[in-house]
Amino acid sequence: FSGGILVAKKGDILFERYQGFRDSRQKVPMNDSTALHLASTGKTFTAVATLQLVKEGKISLDDSVQRFFPKFPYPGITVRSLLNHRSGLPNYVYFISNSKKWNKKVYLQNRDVLDFMISEKPAKSFTANTRFSYSNTNYVLLALIIEKVSGKSFPQYMQEHVFLPLQMQHSYV
């Protein structure tokens, strides 16, 4: 195991331990300020941000993705189906990496995924809301919706509305 564990109750830290290295080559141990790549754990925070906007009445779980991106070529996909991994959209990791139309030396941005979907229209895996299939594409689209609705970049929104209020001082997107 390489990472950190912290257990707290009502603001009191009951247990805190860090194990592993923040720089394995130099054998520099990690500590409470070490930035860690959270990978798909970040989807939970994206869902929180999405539901904040629902609570504020800025979006609805039943809003179509086309409300935010009119050229989106897949009707019937909603915010809810993105959150629940029931959109039927294929995972961009596969349809872009298998494409000869994407320069693999270029760092992929969320907007690139949407633009690729609009221009290339990769086949859906199934009709929305008929099955569950974990797909990173869903959360790329949610991040883009958060940007569109808030008028802020996804990292800025997350910092201001999720990480800072939770006092997550070493977290970022």
Rounded distance between C-alpha atoms, residue 119 and residue 121, angstroms: 6
Active site annotation includes 24: no
Locus of tokens 């029931």? 86
Alpha helices per DSSP H over the chain: 42-55, 65-68, 79-83, 92-97, 110-120, 136-150, 154-158
Please report, as a single letter, which amino acid is at residue 112.
Answer: D
Render the burial of 92-126: b for 16+ CB within 10 Å, e for the rest.
Answer: beebbeeeeebeeeeebebeebbebbeeeebeeee
Q: Which of 2, 24, 40, 125 is catalytic?
A: 40
The set of catalytic residues is 40
